[in-house]
Chain A
Amino acid sequence: MHPVISTVIQRLALGVMTLFFVSLIIFSSIELLPGDFGEAVLGQAATEETKAAFRKELGLDEPAYVRYISWAGSALTGDFGTSFSGRNASGVDRSRPVVELVAPRLWNTLFLAGMTAIIAVPLSMFLGITTALYRNSIYDRVMNATTLTTISTPDFFVAYLLILFLASLNPIFPSLANVSDGTEFWDRVYRSTLPAMTLTLVIVAYMMRMTRAAIINLLASPYIEMARLKGVSKMQVILKHALPNAWAPIATVIAFNLAYLVVGVVVVEVVFVYPGIGQLMVDAVTSRDIPVVQACALIFAATYILLNLTADIVGIVTNPRLLHPR
């Protein structure tokens, strides 16, 4: 078997194992959360008997390992259980499966993340390459200062500034990004513009600076000097001789930022009232809706693992020493 394939399989197996440990941590840390769901739902006035009955109904009286196995087992089949909220002690059950709650929110989040990535990744690559090419020029300094400012500014503040200038003073884009299932594609894009711009401003700096640093780091290599002495133009030196050797660190920082787009954007969602998964998770934590919290946490963990795995694989396949062993 080609060593790259075996390495990829190895990394995949490691990813699955990590996911298993993460699920254990998620499960047990929620166990350790203070307070009692029954009490939270039924109120402090509820009698011990009603609380006990309520717990039994939800299966909360079983030992933890039994609940973990049944939870993890059904999670593997895509069933994350039933949300605790919407249950009514009086008997009318309006609760919904977790998947039903999470799926549309996850789709919204992925849409926003994808839209941001489509703008931010090429933009930061372009800026990274051009600033490396014209390093220490005015252009380089201005770009560095600008992006440094945008990462140093809190994301909600960037969001409010954009709302102020692009929604209030010059009403170009809507300040509320309230999309729903029925929203048409282009309308969705239009409504999501401001949150996507905010996120772009927040993440471009990392990726651009890493791209620039990775390339400049290589520019001191003897093979770059050799390329210059072969009369290769500066642009070609960077595109053909530096960039192919710089993918590994760039892919890592891109993966990290894409993961942030999925798991870390709750503040931006709140500002724009965007119905993403971050808001859902925060709501679920407040209402102690354990199945939803677990599902969200597991999705976040899987996102991180998957993206980092992708970055690893990019690092491997762009390394000729691994791709073409002796």
Chain B
Amino acid sequence: MSTKNKKSGAKGTKGDILLEMKDIVIDGYSDERWHEIVKGVDLTLRRGEVMGLIGESGAGKSTLGLAAMGFVKPGCRLTSGSIDFDGVDLMNAPESKKRQLWGSRIAYVAQSAAASFNPAHRLIEQTVESAVGHAVREESEAKVDARELYASLQLPDPDNIGDRYPHQVSGGQLQRVMTAMAMSPRPDLIIFDEPTTALDVTTQVEVLVAMREIVERFNTAAIYITHDLAVVAQMADFIKVLRYGEEVEEAETRKMLTEPKMPYTKSLWSVRALEKPEVKGDDIVISIKGVDAAYGGAVKVLHDVNIDVPRGSTVAVVGESGSGKSTTARVITGLLPPVKGEVLFNGEALPNALKDRNKDQLRRIQMIYQSADTAMNPRQTVAEIISRPLQFYHDMSSKQREARLVELMKMIELDETFLDRLPNELSGGQKQRICIARALAADPDVIICDEVTSALDQIVQEGILKLLLRLQKEFNITYLFITHDIAVVTAISDEIVVMFQGEVVEQGLKSEILSPPYPDYTQLLLSSVPEMDPDWLTQLTDARSA
């Protein structure tokens, strides 16, 4: 009963320590042995405070976040350290004891809302499950409360949205319902595990605002895990940076942003500083003329798309998911023949369908994909993967190929020894470099890059972008760069095409598009991109409500 009194009664003042983790070591099992994932990290969180936990993937931030609940994923183990949550020793507590805390005093918000809701139950049943299960509230009372939470999270039709099933609402809405679910038992601590990573920037803003307000309103402490610095700057009172399972530094948010101490932290910040000076190109290499496209003949996804791509420059195609960016790429490559319109290459019309194009036409346009993992045959070595275009397009003998492979590896700044490796022996950034080498092997005029950096960490991202820029300078390659990340756009593009619902909203030089006046959608898109300024979200919501 004592815990319950604490909950409903004195919530504690902001100064009290709520969670104290000391010298946490967590092992993960892979390659048939145990590795340390988290190597002796300390973490202290006071009531009502929001801590940002940032780092690249593999830094151990999610593992540490879950450990704050006394939980480890299957295949991991808490090796040593101590976890004290408001007087409860979570390190040694039996599962039944921890279960009493989970979903009543500590709640969890997962990254993928779509996967984290049970498809078989209505949203409101899942929202109130923990509050009812832990006897915090009666079911009917909990449901009334849930509807109020939906309303304060700005969900549409808050009285009825809970009667829907997870597949019937959008990703952004689900993420907010999950926040309501976490808040339903009024926990003392919420762990947000990359809650907005899977969302579009425009949706992300709404979710961030909703989460921040509700956390403030109930004075809930939170650990906010993310790899996006700008996002964490909006949410957190202080930030802890992790790398390779160790703490790099911890500081109050403003201080961390203005004067990071460690070189690693500075490097995290510097990615945003990359910016290519724009060049206006006149020699149009690819011209898309009045293209309409549809999948399965029925649903039209592109409407009268016109895009000109000048030789040797980078045209960034931006827009949220579903805006037709990738479909445009499929039309150019011939994977999806357009219903109407045509694609000109050096002024000549390309055959619509892939199978009607000749080898030379195919060679001149190459593609690099978002997921390097699935774009490579896992059973072929790097040498085999890159050799294929050399053989197919250039008919090279094995000796010529060998020489060319070495050259290509130099271009992508990887050692020759990588040639004998299999894709799963490479890191994410290395894999993407191999994909770039494969595209280069064809000697293309144009490379279409479809979200090539969005699966990568900031620092790796920067490396790939720099590599692409260097290659462009050396070989005068043209890029059509599809992305939803505005930071990447400023880093690499000369021209920008903004797409929305299958139509081109505007096209122009970077400096024109990124400066006012904006068409409505461009305005919304640009203003939704989080900035490093901790006051950005507040100012944005003020500006939007005004």
> A interface vs B, CB < 8 Å?
220-223, 225-233, 236, 240-241, 244-245, 318, 320-321, 324, 326
With A222-B110, A226-B108 as contacts: A231 and B133 at CB distance below 8 Å: yes
Shortest Cβ distance from residue B204 to the other chain A in the assembled complex, whole angstroms: 20
Listed by A's residue number, 16 A-B pairs whose Cβ atoms lie within 8 Å are A225-B73, A226-B117, A229-B103, A230-B102, A230-B103, A230-B108, A230-B130, A231-B99, A231-B130, A231-B133, A240-B121, A241-B118, A241-B121, A245-B119, A320-B119, A320-B165
Q: State which of A221, A232, A241, A324 has its C-beta within 8 Å of the C-beta of B103.
A: A232
Give a binary string over B114-151; 1 marks a CB under 8 Å from any A CB, 0 the rest.
01111111000000011001100000000000000000
Give A244 to B108 CA distance when docked, in angstroms: 23
Which residues between 163 and 202 of chain B lie within 8 Å of chain A, taking CB atoms?
164-165, 167-168, 181
Give A318 to B130 CA distance when docked, in angstroms: 24
Give A241 to B168 CA distance when docked, in angstroms: 18
Q: Tell me, yes or no, whether B71 is within 8 Å of chain A by CB.
A: yes
Closest to B117 in A: A223
Q: State which of A223, A236, A240, A244 has its C-beta within 8 Å of the C-beta of B115.
A: A223
Give A230 to B119 CA distance when docked, in angstroms: 16
> Which residues of chain B come closer than 8 Å to A232, judged between CB atoms?
99, 103, 129-130, 133
CB atoms of A221 and B115 under 8 A apart: yes
Beyond the given A223-B119, A225-B116, A231-B130, could you list 6 further A-B residue pairs with CB under 8 A, ordered by the A residue number? A230-B103, A231-B104, A240-B121, A321-B167, A324-B164, A324-B165
With A223-B117, A223-B118, A324-B168 as contacts: A229 and B102 at CB distance below 8 Å: yes
Shortest Cβ distance from residue B67 to the other chain A in the assembled complex, whole angstroms: 12
Count of chain B residues near A, Cβ 8 A? 30
Shortest Cβ distance from residue A320 to the other chain B in the assembled complex, whole angstroms: 5
Residue from A220, A226, A244, A321 having most chain B Cβ neighbours under 10 A: A226
State the 5 A-B residue pairs at the shortest beta-carbon distance, nearest first: A230-B103, A231-B103, A244-B120, A231-B102, A230-B130
Give A240 to B125 CA distance when docked, in angstroms: 11
CB atoms of A222 and B112 under 8 A apart: yes
Shortest Cβ distance from residue A91 to the other chain B in the assembled complex, whole angstroms: 68
> B interface vs A, CB < 8 Å?
69, 71, 73-74, 99-104, 107-108, 110, 112, 115-121, 129-130, 133-134, 164-165, 167-168, 181
> Which residues of chain A come closer than 8 Å to B181, judged between CB atoms?
230
With A221-B115, A320-B120 as contacts: A229 and B71 at CB distance below 8 Å: yes
> Which residues of chain B come closer than 8 Å to A318, judged between CB atoms?
120
Closest to A226 in B: B116
> Which residues of chain A come closer than 8 Å to B74, judged between CB atoms?
220
> Which residues of chain B come closer than 8 Å to A236, judged between CB atoms?
133
Shortest Cβ distance from residue A63 to the other chain B in the assembled complex, whole angstroms: 47
Give A245 to B118 CA distance when docked, in angstroms: 8
Q: State which of B69, B73, B120 has its C-beta within 8 Å of the C-beta of A245.
A: B120
Shortest Cβ distance from residue A279 to the other chain B in the assembled complex, whole angstroms: 44
Shortest Cβ distance from residue A217 to the other chain B in the assembled complex, whole angstroms: 14
Shortest Cβ distance from residue A236 to the other chain B in the assembled complex, whole angstroms: 8
Closest to A220 in B: B74
Residue from A232, A236, A245, A318 having most chain B Cβ neighbours under 10 A: A232
CB atoms of A230 and B129 under 8 A apart: yes
Closest to A224 in B: B118
With A223-B118, A320-B119, A321-B167 as contacts: A233 and B110 at CB distance below 8 Å: no
> Which residues of chain B come closer than 8 Å to A326, judged between CB atoms?
167-168
CB atoms of B100 and A226 under 8 A apart: no
Give A125 to B120 CA distance when docked, in angstroms: 19
Give A286 to B429 CA distance when docked, in angstroms: 71
> Which residues of chain A come closer than 8 Å to B100, judged between CB atoms?
231
> Which residues of chain A come closer than 8 Å to B120, judged between CB atoms?
241, 244-245, 318, 320
Give A135 to B174 CA distance when docked, in angstroms: 32
Closest to B182 in A: A230
> Which residues of chain A come closer than 8 Å to B99, judged between CB atoms?
231-233
Shortest Cβ distance from residue B195 to the other chain A in the assembled complex, whole angstroms: 13
> Which residues of chain A come closer than 8 Å to B167, judged between CB atoms?
320-321, 326
Q: State which of A226, A245, A321, A324 has its C-beta within 8 Å of the C-beta of B110.
A: A226
> Which residues of chain B come closer than 8 Å to A231, judged between CB atoms?
99-104, 130, 133-134
Closest to B191 in A: A229
Give A223 to B120 CA distance when docked, in angstroms: 11
> Which residues of chain A come closer than 8 Å to B71, judged between CB atoms?
228-229
CB atoms of B129 and A223 under 8 A apart: no
Q: State which of B101, B102, B103, B116 has its C-beta within 8 Å of the C-beta of A223.
A: B116
Shortest Cβ distance from residue A135 to the other chain B in the assembled complex, whole angstroms: 12
Closest to A232 in B: B133
Give A241 to B125 CA distance when docked, in angstroms: 12
Shortest Cβ distance from residue A229 to the other chain B in the assembled complex, whole angstroms: 4
Give A223 to B108 CA distance when docked, in angstroms: 12
> Which residues of chain B come closer than 8 Å to A241, judged between CB atoms?
118, 120-121
Give A185 to B533 CA distance when docked, in angstroms: 82
Q: State which of A227, A229, A321, A324 has its C-beta within 8 Å of the C-beta of B118.
A: A227
> Which residues of chain B come closer than 8 Å to A244, judged between CB atoms?
118, 120-121
Shortest Cβ distance from residue A31 to the other chain B in the assembled complex, whole angstroms: 44
Give A176 to B30 CA distance when docked, in angstroms: 58
Closest to B96 in A: A233
Shortest Cβ distance from residue B390 to the other chain A in the assembled complex, whole angstroms: 41
Give A231 to B102 CA distance when docked, in angstroms: 5
Closest to B178 in A: A226
Residue from B115, B120, B121, B133 having most chain A Cβ neighbours under 10 A: B120
Residue from B103, B110, B116, B118 having most chain A Cβ neighbours under 10 A: B118
Shortest Cβ distance from residue B123 to the other chain A in the assembled complex, whole angstroms: 11
Shortest Cβ distance from residue A315 to the other chain B in the assembled complex, whole angstroms: 13
Closest to A221 in B: B115
> Which residues of chain A come closer than 8 Å to B110, judged between CB atoms?
222, 225-226
Closest to A233 in B: B99
Shortest Cβ distance from residue B119 to the other chain A in the assembled complex, whole angstroms: 6
Shortest Cβ distance from residue A325 to the other chain B in the assembled complex, whole angstroms: 8
CB atoms of A230 and B133 under 8 A apart: yes
Give A161 to B372 CA distance when docked, in angstroms: 59
Shortest Cβ distance from residue A230 to the other chain B in the assembled complex, whole angstroms: 4
CB atoms of A228 and B115 under 8 A apart: no
Give A326 to B321 CA distance when docked, in angstroms: 19
Q: State which of B108, B112, B115 has its C-beta within 8 Å of the C-beta of A229.
A: B108
CB atoms of A222 and B102 under 8 A apart: no
Shortest Cβ distance from residue A137 to the other chain B in the assembled complex, whole angstroms: 15
> Which residues of chain A come closer than 8 Å to B112, judged between CB atoms?
222
Give A324 to B122 CA distance when docked, in angstroms: 10
> Which residues of chain B come closer than 8 Å to A225, judged between CB atoms?
73, 110, 116
